[in-house]
Each structure stands twice: as structure tokens, then as C-alpha cells.
Amino acid sequence: DQQVKQNSPSLSVQEGRISILNCDYTNSMFDYFLWYKKYPAEGPTFLISISSIKDKNEDGRFTVFLNKSAKHLSLHIVPSQPGDSAVYFCAASALEGYSTLTFGKGTMLLVSP
């Protein structure tokens, strides 16, 4: 049973526009969330994170929003650039003992010039 869900396998956006990637989770114990970016044949790299005590976190062009009541988070990229084309993974962690990261299946973002 998937605890972290990324329901859109892919997303296409034009350069300069906003990209919005969505993630839903089912485990109410999750309280720390991360987004990773992955290029083909490479390992994921950390992008941005958010703790459940916040509802928004910004880092340059990247903003993550967390809606705890809906168990939903989203990553906004503004403006989108062709170099942002990659697979984006949402991950979550629970504050219960030693908790590993649980990943979603990823969303492939394609930003066209």
C-alpha cells in the first residue's frame, strides 16, 4: 500500500511558466517532507524540504506548500527552465523511532523552450 503518492507520472510545461508537482500521503505520522530531483542514470539530489510545523518553505525558484489537513504537498517551480526537466520524487519521514524515507513513484517534468 503506497503511503506516498504522486499521481501524475508526467508533466509538460513551457519555459517561463509555473510547474506544479503534487504529492499526497496517507500516513498521518509523517511530519517531514522532502523533494528530490533526479536526472537519468544519476542519483537523486535534494531540492527542498518542509517540516509539518510550517505550511510553506521557499528556496529561490522552488516553493513547497504543505496542507496537513488534506495530507497534500506541492512543489512550485517559478519560472520553469529547460534544465528543470527531470524526475521529481516526493519523500516523507515519520517521527517514530528510526524512520527511513518513504518515496513516491516520481513525476517526470519536461520543460520545453
Partner 1 sequence: DGGITQSPKYLFRKEGQNVTLSCEQNLNHDAMYWYRQDPGQGLRLIYYSQIVNDFQKGDIAEGYSVSREKKESFPLTVTSAQKNPTAFYLCASSRSSGRGMGGYTFGSGTRLTVV
Residues lying near partner 1 in the complex (CB under 8 A) are found at: 6, 9, 32, 34, 36, 41-46, 49, 89, 91, 93, 95, 98-106
Dihedral angle computed from the Cα positions of residues 21, 27, 28 and 30, in that order, rounded to the nearest 10 degrees: -70
Q: Least distance in Å: CB of 15 to partner 1?
A: 27
Q: Which is nearer to partner 1, 100 or 113 (CB)?
A: 100
Q: Least distance in Å: CB of 79 to partner 1?
A: 24
Q: C-alpha cell of 54?
A: 510550517
Q: Least distance in Å: CB of 98 to partner 1?
A: 5
Closest to 67 measured CA to CA, from 57, 52, 79, 82 = 52
Q: C-alpha cell of 100?
A: 527511513
